[in-house]
Protein backbone atom coordinates (compact mmCIF):
# COMPACT_ATOMS: atom_id res chain seq x y z
CA UNK A 1 0.00 0.00 0.00
CA UNK A 2 2.82 2.41 0.94
CA UNK A 3 4.59 1.60 -2.32
CA UNK A 4 1.45 2.43 -4.34
CA UNK A 5 1.08 5.79 -2.55
CA UNK A 6 4.76 6.56 -3.19
CA UNK A 7 4.39 5.79 -6.92
CA UNK A 8 1.25 7.94 -7.14
CA UNK A 9 3.06 10.87 -5.44
CA UNK A 10 6.02 10.57 -7.83
CA UNK A 11 3.71 10.58 -10.87
CA UNK A 12 1.87 13.65 -9.53
CA UNK A 13 5.14 15.52 -9.02
CA UNK A 14 6.35 14.70 -12.53
CA UNK A 15 3.02 15.83 -14.02
CA UNK A 16 3.24 19.05 -12.01
CA UNK A 17 6.76 19.80 -13.29
CA UNK A 18 5.65 19.13 -16.90
CA UNK A 19 2.71 21.53 -16.50
CA UNK A 20 4.97 24.25 -15.07
CA UNK A 21 7.42 23.71 -17.96
CA UNK A 22 4.63 24.14 -20.55
CA UNK A 23 3.48 27.40 -18.91
CA UNK A 24 7.00 28.80 -18.76
CA UNK A 25 7.56 28.01 -22.45
CA UNK A 26 4.72 30.43 -23.32
CA UNK A 27 5.13 33.10 -20.66
CA UNK A 28 8.40 32.53 -18.81
CA UNK A 29 11.94 33.73 -19.31
CA UNK A 30 14.72 31.66 -20.87
CA UNK A 31 16.22 31.06 -17.41
CA UNK A 32 12.90 29.74 -16.02
CA UNK A 33 12.46 27.36 -18.97
CA UNK A 34 15.96 25.91 -18.45
CA UNK A 35 15.33 25.51 -14.71
CA UNK A 36 12.03 23.62 -15.23
CA UNK A 37 13.54 21.43 -17.97
CA UNK A 38 16.23 20.37 -15.48
CA UNK A 39 13.59 19.52 -12.85
CA UNK A 40 11.70 17.27 -15.28
CA UNK A 41 14.92 15.55 -16.42
CA UNK A 42 15.99 15.06 -12.83
CA UNK A 43 12.66 13.47 -11.90
CA UNK A 44 12.77 11.18 -14.95
CA UNK A 45 16.38 10.19 -14.13
CA UNK A 46 15.56 9.19 -10.54
CA UNK A 47 12.52 7.25 -11.75
CA UNK A 48 14.75 5.27 -14.14
CA UNK A 49 17.40 4.66 -11.46
CA UNK A 50 14.73 3.46 -9.05
CA UNK A 51 13.41 0.95 -11.62
CA UNK A 52 16.91 -0.37 -12.30
CA UNK A 53 17.61 -0.63 -8.56
CA UNK A 54 14.42 -2.67 -7.96
CA UNK A 55 15.31 -4.96 -10.89
CA UNK A 56 18.87 -5.41 -9.60
CA UNK A 57 17.95 -6.12 -5.98
CA UNK A 58 15.19 -8.54 -7.03
CA UNK A 59 17.64 -10.71 -8.98
CA UNK A 60 20.48 -10.44 -6.50
CA UNK A 61 20.89 -13.29 -4.00
CA UNK A 62 20.74 -12.19 -0.38
CA UNK A 63 23.04 -14.21 1.86
CA UNK A 64 21.41 -15.40 5.10
CA UNK A 65 23.67 -17.02 7.66
CA UNK A 66 22.20 -20.12 9.32
CA UNK A 67 22.54 -20.15 13.13
CA UNK A 68 25.23 -22.19 14.89
CA UNK A 69 22.52 -24.46 16.30
CA UNK A 70 19.37 -25.15 14.27
CA UNK A 71 17.57 -26.49 17.30
CA UNK A 72 14.27 -26.34 19.24
CA UNK A 73 15.33 -28.13 22.43
CA UNK A 74 17.10 -25.10 23.91
CA UNK A 75 15.06 -21.90 24.54
CA UNK A 76 17.71 -19.55 23.11
CA UNK A 77 18.26 -21.75 20.05
CA UNK A 78 14.48 -22.04 19.57
CA UNK A 79 14.09 -18.29 19.04
CA UNK A 80 17.30 -17.97 16.97
CA UNK A 81 16.10 -20.74 14.64
CA UNK A 82 12.66 -19.15 14.18
CA UNK A 83 14.22 -15.71 13.50
CA UNK A 84 16.37 -17.37 10.82
CA UNK A 85 13.33 -19.05 9.18
CA UNK A 86 11.29 -15.82 9.34
CA UNK A 87 14.10 -13.88 7.65
CA UNK A 88 14.16 -16.34 4.73
CA UNK A 89 10.35 -16.24 4.49
CA UNK A 90 10.29 -12.42 4.44
CA UNK A 91 12.88 -12.17 1.62
CA UNK A 92 11.23 -14.81 -0.56
CA UNK A 93 7.54 -13.93 -0.03
CA UNK A 94 7.35 -10.22 0.79
CA UNK A 95 10.36 -8.95 -1.15
CA UNK A 96 10.22 -11.50 -4.01
CA UNK A 97 13.93 -11.96 -3.56
CA UNK A 98 16.37 -14.85 -3.74
CA UNK A 99 18.17 -16.32 -0.75
CA UNK A 100 21.52 -18.05 -0.45
CA UNK A 101 21.80 -19.88 2.90
CA UNK A 102 25.30 -19.95 4.37
CA UNK A 103 25.83 -23.01 6.61
CA UNK A 104 29.49 -22.25 7.36
CA UNK A 105 28.79 -21.49 11.04
CA UNK A 106 26.29 -24.31 11.66
CA UNK A 107 27.54 -27.03 14.03
CA UNK A 108 24.35 -28.91 14.93
CA UNK A 109 20.90 -29.65 13.51
CA UNK A 110 18.30 -31.43 15.64
CA UNK A 111 15.16 -33.30 14.50
CA UNK A 112 12.22 -30.98 15.30
CA UNK A 113 14.00 -27.84 14.09
CA UNK A 114 15.20 -29.57 10.94
CA UNK A 115 11.72 -30.74 9.94
CA UNK A 116 10.38 -27.21 10.50
CA UNK A 117 13.21 -25.82 8.32
CA UNK A 118 12.55 -28.41 5.60
CA UNK A 119 8.80 -27.73 5.65
CA UNK A 120 9.27 -23.94 5.38
CA UNK A 121 11.72 -24.35 2.49
CA UNK A 122 9.36 -26.71 0.66
CA UNK A 123 6.44 -24.30 1.07
CA UNK A 124 8.48 -21.26 -0.02
CA UNK A 125 9.81 -22.76 -3.26
CA UNK A 126 6.29 -23.93 -4.14
CA UNK A 127 4.82 -20.48 -3.44
CA UNK A 128 7.56 -18.43 -5.15
CA UNK A 129 7.44 -17.59 -8.88
CA UNK A 130 11.15 -18.37 -8.95
CA UNK A 131 10.54 -21.93 -7.73
CA UNK A 132 13.72 -23.70 -6.58
CA UNK A 133 15.76 -20.71 -7.78
CA UNK A 134 14.37 -18.72 -4.84
CA UNK A 135 16.55 -20.62 -2.35
CA UNK A 136 20.09 -21.97 -2.68
CA UNK A 137 22.77 -22.87 -0.12
CA UNK A 138 26.47 -23.50 0.36
CA UNK A 139 27.87 -26.85 1.47
CA UNK A 140 28.25 -26.89 5.28
CA UNK A 141 31.76 -26.94 6.74
CA UNK A 142 30.81 -29.51 9.39
CA UNK A 143 30.58 -32.93 7.73
CA UNK A 144 27.87 -34.22 10.07
CA UNK A 145 25.63 -31.23 9.28
CA UNK A 146 26.06 -31.97 5.56
CA UNK A 147 25.22 -35.63 6.24
CA UNK A 148 21.99 -34.60 8.02
CA UNK A 149 20.91 -32.34 5.14
CA UNK A 150 21.52 -35.17 2.67
CA UNK A 151 19.76 -37.80 4.75
CA UNK A 152 16.52 -35.88 5.25
CA UNK A 153 16.20 -34.80 1.62
CA UNK A 154 17.25 -31.13 1.77
CA UNK A 155 19.78 -31.53 -1.06
CA UNK A 156 17.21 -33.39 -3.15
CA UNK A 157 14.52 -30.76 -2.48
CA UNK A 158 16.71 -27.96 -3.87
CA UNK A 159 18.32 -30.18 -6.55
CA UNK A 160 21.85 -29.54 -5.33
CA UNK A 161 24.53 -32.12 -6.23
CA UNK A 162 25.73 -34.08 -3.18
CA UNK A 163 29.28 -34.85 -2.05
CA UNK A 164 30.59 -37.98 -0.37
CA UNK A 165 30.42 -37.81 3.42
CA UNK A 166 31.08 -40.19 6.27
CA UNK A 167 28.25 -42.39 7.56
CA UNK A 168 27.08 -41.33 11.00
CA UNK A 169 25.10 -43.89 13.00
CA UNK A 170 22.85 -41.26 14.63
CA UNK A 171 22.05 -39.74 11.20
CA UNK A 172 21.67 -42.69 8.82
CA UNK A 173 18.68 -44.20 10.69
CA UNK A 174 16.37 -41.31 9.73
CA UNK A 175 13.72 -41.97 7.07
CA UNK A 176 11.84 -39.07 5.48
CA UNK A 177 8.38 -38.78 3.87
CA UNK A 178 5.87 -36.06 3.02
CA UNK A 179 2.33 -35.93 1.68
CA UNK A 180 -0.91 -33.96 1.46
CA UNK A 181 -3.36 -34.15 4.36
CA UNK A 182 -6.40 -33.73 2.08
CA UNK A 183 -5.65 -37.20 0.70
CA UNK A 184 -5.36 -39.59 3.70
CA UNK A 185 -4.91 -42.68 1.52
CA UNK A 186 -2.06 -41.06 -0.39
CA UNK A 187 -0.51 -40.04 2.93
CA UNK A 188 -0.74 -43.62 4.13
CA UNK A 189 0.95 -44.89 0.94
CA UNK A 190 3.72 -42.29 1.25
CA UNK A 191 4.46 -43.48 4.80
CA UNK A 192 4.53 -47.20 3.83
CA UNK A 193 8.33 -47.47 3.63
CA UNK A 194 8.87 -45.74 6.95
CA UNK A 195 6.16 -47.80 8.64
CA UNK A 196 7.64 -51.01 7.22
CA UNK A 197 11.07 -50.32 8.70
CA UNK A 198 9.63 -49.35 12.06
CA UNK A 199 7.21 -52.23 12.33
CA UNK A 200 9.98 -54.83 11.96
CA UNK A 201 11.30 -53.94 15.41
CA UNK A 202 8.30 -52.35 17.08
CA UNK A 203 5.94 -54.48 19.26
CA UNK A 204 2.35 -54.86 18.03
CA UNK A 205 0.62 -52.66 20.61
CA UNK A 206 3.22 -49.95 20.32
CA UNK A 207 3.13 -49.98 16.51
CA UNK A 208 -0.67 -49.92 16.44
CA UNK A 209 -0.71 -46.85 18.68
CA UNK A 210 1.89 -45.13 16.54
CA UNK A 211 0.02 -45.86 13.28
CA UNK A 212 -3.31 -44.56 14.59
CA UNK A 213 -1.71 -41.47 16.09
CA UNK A 214 0.08 -40.77 12.79
CA UNK A 215 -3.16 -41.16 10.80
CA UNK A 216 -5.00 -38.75 13.10
CA UNK A 217 -2.23 -36.15 13.05
CA UNK A 218 -2.23 -36.19 9.25
CA UNK A 219 -6.02 -36.13 8.84
CA UNK A 220 -6.67 -33.35 11.34
CA UNK A 221 -3.62 -31.16 10.72
CA UNK A 222 -5.66 -28.44 8.97
CA UNK A 223 -9.11 -27.43 10.15
CA UNK A 224 -9.39 -24.07 8.40
CA UNK A 225 -11.86 -24.24 5.48
CA UNK A 226 -9.91 -21.50 3.68
CA UNK A 227 -6.87 -23.76 3.44
CA UNK A 228 -7.68 -25.94 0.50
CA UNK A 229 -4.59 -26.01 -1.70
CA UNK A 230 -1.88 -28.67 -1.57
CA UNK A 231 0.88 -26.24 -0.55
CA UNK A 232 -1.00 -25.30 2.62
CA UNK A 233 -2.23 -28.80 3.51
CA UNK A 234 1.07 -30.65 3.37
CA UNK A 235 2.77 -32.65 6.12
CA UNK A 236 6.36 -33.78 6.63
CA UNK A 237 7.67 -36.66 8.75
CA UNK A 238 10.91 -38.26 9.98
CA UNK A 239 10.96 -41.68 11.60
CA UNK A 240 13.58 -44.21 12.59
CA UNK A 241 14.90 -46.70 15.13
CA UNK A 242 18.07 -45.79 17.03
CA UNK A 243 19.50 -47.87 19.92
CA UNK A 244 16.22 -49.82 20.17
CA UNK A 245 14.24 -46.60 20.49
CA UNK A 246 11.50 -45.66 18.01
CA UNK A 247 11.57 -41.93 17.20
CA UNK A 248 8.91 -40.17 15.10
CA UNK A 249 8.62 -36.47 14.19
CA UNK A 250 5.68 -35.13 12.18
CA UNK A 251 5.12 -31.51 11.14
CA UNK A 252 2.41 -29.46 9.48
CA UNK A 253 2.41 -25.76 8.67
CA UNK A 254 -1.29 -25.26 9.40
CA UNK A 255 -3.08 -22.85 11.69
CA UNK A 256 -1.91 -24.52 14.91
CA UNK A 257 -3.72 -26.26 17.76
CA UNK A 258 -4.78 -23.05 19.53
CA UNK A 259 -6.74 -21.99 16.42
CA UNK A 260 -7.98 -25.39 15.20
CA UNK A 261 -9.22 -26.66 18.59
CA UNK A 262 -12.04 -24.09 19.03
CA UNK A 263 -13.24 -24.91 15.50
CA UNK A 264 -13.51 -28.65 16.23
CA UNK A 265 -14.37 -28.83 19.95
CA UNK A 266 -16.16 -25.60 20.82
CA UNK A 267 -15.31 -22.98 23.44
CA UNK A 268 -17.54 -24.45 26.16
CA UNK A 269 -15.74 -27.81 26.22
CA UNK A 270 -12.36 -26.06 26.13
CA UNK A 271 -13.39 -23.93 29.13
CA UNK A 272 -14.36 -27.08 31.07
CA UNK A 273 -10.95 -28.64 30.43
CA UNK A 274 -9.25 -25.38 31.37
CA UNK A 275 -10.96 -25.40 34.78
CA UNK A 276 -10.43 -29.14 35.30
CA UNK A 277 -6.69 -28.82 34.57
CA UNK A 278 -6.39 -25.61 36.67
CA UNK A 279 -4.97 -23.61 33.77
CA UNK A 280 -4.68 -19.85 34.27
CA UNK A 281 -5.08 -18.77 30.65
CA UNK A 282 -5.66 -20.27 27.23
CA UNK A 283 -2.31 -19.57 25.58
CA UNK A 284 -0.74 -21.87 22.98
CA UNK A 285 0.89 -24.27 25.46
CA UNK A 286 -2.35 -24.55 27.49
CA UNK A 287 -4.33 -25.39 24.34
CA UNK A 288 -1.83 -28.14 23.48
CA UNK A 289 -2.28 -29.67 26.94
CA UNK A 290 -6.07 -29.55 26.57
CA UNK A 291 -5.85 -31.17 23.11
CA UNK A 292 -3.74 -33.99 24.57
CA UNK A 293 -6.55 -34.79 27.04
CA UNK A 294 -9.41 -34.76 24.53
CA UNK A 295 -10.47 -37.91 22.71
CA UNK A 296 -13.60 -37.08 20.71
CA UNK A 297 -13.57 -35.22 17.39
CA UNK A 298 -16.02 -33.10 15.44
CA UNK A 299 -16.87 -36.26 13.43
CA UNK A 300 -18.42 -37.81 16.55
CA UNK A 301 -16.58 -41.11 15.98
CA UNK A 302 -15.00 -42.44 19.12
CA UNK A 303 -12.16 -44.15 17.23
CA UNK A 304 -11.03 -41.01 15.41
CA UNK A 305 -9.12 -37.91 16.46
CA UNK A 306 -7.35 -39.44 19.46
CA UNK A 307 -3.89 -38.82 18.02
CA UNK A 308 -2.26 -37.09 20.99
CA UNK A 309 -4.30 -39.03 23.55
CA UNK A 310 -3.26 -42.35 21.96
CA UNK A 311 0.43 -41.47 22.26
CA UNK A 312 -0.05 -40.46 25.90
CA UNK A 313 -1.88 -43.71 26.65
CA UNK A 314 1.10 -45.72 25.33
CA UNK A 315 3.43 -43.77 27.63
CA UNK A 316 1.04 -44.40 30.55
CA UNK A 317 0.65 -48.12 29.77
CA UNK A 318 4.37 -48.91 29.55
CA UNK A 319 5.61 -46.22 31.97
CA UNK A 320 8.15 -45.16 29.37
CA UNK A 321 8.48 -42.80 26.45
CA UNK A 322 8.54 -39.10 25.62
CA UNK A 323 6.11 -36.77 23.84
CA UNK A 324 6.92 -33.19 22.78
CA UNK A 325 4.46 -30.95 20.95
CA UNK A 326 5.32 -27.53 19.52
CA UNK A 327 2.40 -25.52 18.17
CA UNK A 328 2.81 -21.85 17.24
CA UNK A 329 4.44 -20.28 20.35
CA UNK A 330 3.54 -23.09 22.74
CA UNK A 331 5.42 -26.20 23.81
CA UNK A 332 4.09 -29.14 25.85
CA UNK A 333 6.18 -32.11 26.99
CA UNK A 334 4.87 -35.31 28.57
CA UNK A 335 7.06 -38.23 29.63
CA UNK A 336 7.41 -41.01 32.17
CA UNK A 337 10.62 -42.45 33.57
CA UNK A 338 10.44 -45.45 35.90
CA UNK A 339 6.81 -44.72 36.66
CA UNK A 340 7.32 -41.00 37.43
CA UNK A 341 5.32 -38.51 35.37
CA UNK A 342 6.76 -35.24 34.12
CA UNK A 343 4.48 -32.66 32.51
CA UNK A 344 6.03 -29.40 31.26
CA UNK A 345 4.46 -26.36 29.55
CA UNK A 346 6.46 -23.54 27.95
CA UNK A 347 5.46 -20.38 26.07
CA UNK A 348 8.07 -18.97 23.65
CA UNK A 349 8.49 -15.50 22.12
CA UNK A 350 8.51 -16.78 18.54
CA UNK A 351 6.29 -19.21 16.63
CA UNK A 352 7.00 -22.44 14.72
CA UNK A 353 4.08 -21.41 12.44
CA UNK A 354 2.31 -24.76 12.61
CA UNK A 355 2.52 -27.90 14.73
CA UNK A 356 5.39 -30.33 15.33
CA UNK A 357 4.81 -33.58 17.24
CA UNK A 358 7.80 -35.63 18.33
CA UNK A 359 7.55 -38.90 20.25
CA UNK A 360 9.90 -41.71 21.21
CA UNK A 361 9.48 -45.14 22.82
CA UNK A 362 11.94 -47.91 23.80
CA UNK A 363 11.17 -50.96 21.63
CA UNK A 364 11.85 -53.45 24.39
CA UNK A 365 8.81 -52.37 26.42
CA UNK A 366 6.05 -54.91 26.80
CA UNK A 367 8.25 -57.83 25.65
CA UNK A 368 6.89 -60.01 28.39
CA UNK A 369 3.44 -59.82 26.77
CA UNK A 370 4.65 -61.16 23.37
Kindly write down the DSSP assignment for every residue of 339-360, as one continuous string.
Answer: TEEEEEEEE-SS--SSEEEEEE
The answer to whether position 329 is within a domain reads yes
> Percentage of residues in the chain with pLDDT exceeding 90?
31
Q: What pLDDT, on a 0 to 100 scale, did the predictor assign at position 201?
A: 52
Of the two residues 95 and 106, the one the predictor is more confident about is: 106
Q: What is the DSSP letter of 93?
A: I
Distance (Å, whole) CA 129 – CA 158: 15
The answer to whether position 169 is within a domain reads no
Of the two residues 46 and 293, the one the predictor is more confident about is: 293
Among 16-20, 34-38, 285-289, 361-365, the range of highest mean pLDDT: 285-289
Tell me which residue range forms the domain holding 336: 177-370
Q: 49: phi > 0 → left, psi -120 to 50 → alpha, else beta; which?
A: alpha
Residue 73 is part of a domain; what is its CATH number? 3.30.750
User: Please, is 342 exposed, middle or buried when counting C-beta atoms within 10 Å of its C-beta (0-12, 13-18, 19+)?
Assistant: exposed
The answer to whether position 172 is within a domain reads no
The answer to whether position 56 is within a domain reads no
> Within this chain, do residues 126 and 202 fall inside the same structural domain, yes or no?
no
For 294-324, what is each residue's pLDDT tens digit? 764 444 444 444 557 767 777 777 777 888 9
> Within this chain, do residues 148 and 200 fall inside the same structural domain, yes or no?
no
The answer to whether position 94 is within a domain reads yes
Residue 218 is part of a domain; what is its CATH number? 3.30.565.10
> Within this chain, do residues 244 and 320 fall inside the same structural domain, yes or no?
yes
> Within this chain, do residues 252 and 312 fall inside the same structural domain, yes or no?
yes
The answer to whether position 272 is within a domain reads yes
Neighbours of 341 (CB within 10 A): 11
pLDDT reading at 8 higher than 70 = no
Distance (Å, whole) CA 163 – CA 239: 24
Q: Which residues pair with 109 in a beta bridge?
A: 70
pLDDT reading at 331 higher than 90 = yes
Q: What pLDDT, on a 0 to 100 scale, did the predictor assign at position 296?
A: 43
Instruction: Say how many domains are in the chain.
Output: 3
> Within this chain, do residues 118 and 71 fall inside the same structural domain, yes or no?
yes
The pTM of the whole model exceeds 0.85: no
> Within this chain, do residues 148 and 199 fall inside the same structural domain, yes or no?
no
Of the two residues 369 and 274, the one the predictor is more confident about is: 274
Of the two residues 10 and 260, the one the predictor is more confident about is: 260
pLDDT reading at 365 higher than 50 = yes
Using only C-alpha atoms, the chain has a radius of gyration, in whole angstroms, of 27
Q: What pLDDT, on a 0 to 100 scale, did the predictor assign at position 336?
A: 76
Of the two residues 91 and 222, the one the predictor is more confident about is: 91
How sure is the predictor about 56, in pLDDT bands with cuts at 50, 70 and 90? very low
How sure is the predictor about 36, in pLDDT bands with cuts at 50, 70 and 90? low
> Within this chain, do residues 81 and 214 fall inside the same structural domain, yes or no?
no
Q: What pLDDT, on a 0 to 100 scale, did the predictor assign at position 92?
A: 92
Length of the chain counted residue by residue: 370
The answer to whether position 78 is within a domain reads yes
For 127-140, what is each residue's pLDDT tens digit? 898 899 999 999 99
The answer to whether position 42 is within a domain reads yes
* Lowest-confidence segment of 86-90, 158-162, 170-174, 200-204 by average pLDDT: 200-204
> Within this chain, do residues 127 and 204 fall inside the same structural domain, yes or no?
no
Q: What pLDDT, on a 0 to 100 scale, did the predictor assign at position 262?
A: 85
334 contact partners, CB below 8 Å, separation of at least 6: 292, 312, 315, 322, 323, 341, 342, 343, 344
Average pLDDT over residues 188-202: 57
* Lowest-confidence segment of 195-199, 227-231, 313-317, 333-337 by average pLDDT: 227-231
pLDDT reading at 270 higher than 80 = yes
Q: What pLDDT, on a 0 to 100 scale, did the predictor assign at position 307?
A: 59
> Within this chain, do residues 271 and 313 fall inside the same structural domain, yes or no?
yes
> Within this chain, do residues 151 and 216 fall inside the same structural domain, yes or no?
no
* Lowest-confidence segment of 60-74, 143-157, 216-230, 240-254 by average pLDDT: 216-230
pLDDT reading at 360 higher than 70 = yes
> Within this chain, do residues 226 and 154 fall inside the same structural domain, yes or no?
no
Distance (Å, whole) CA 174 – CA 238: 6
DSSP secondary structure string for all residues of 120-149? HHHHHHHHSTTGGGGEEEPPPSSHHHHHHH
> Within this chain, do residues 222 and 304 fall inside the same structural domain, yes or no?
yes
Domain final position from 128, 159, 190: 159
Amino acid sequence: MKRQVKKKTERSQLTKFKRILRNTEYHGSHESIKKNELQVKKKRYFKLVNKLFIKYTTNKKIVVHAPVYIDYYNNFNFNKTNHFLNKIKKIVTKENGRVSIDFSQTKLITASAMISFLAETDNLINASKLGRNAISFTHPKVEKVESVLKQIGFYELLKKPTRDTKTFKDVSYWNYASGVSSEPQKASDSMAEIEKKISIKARRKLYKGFSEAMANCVEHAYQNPAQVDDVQTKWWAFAGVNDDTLIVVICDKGIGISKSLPLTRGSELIEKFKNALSLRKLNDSAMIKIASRMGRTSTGKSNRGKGLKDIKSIIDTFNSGHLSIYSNKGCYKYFRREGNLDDIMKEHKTSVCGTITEWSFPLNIGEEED
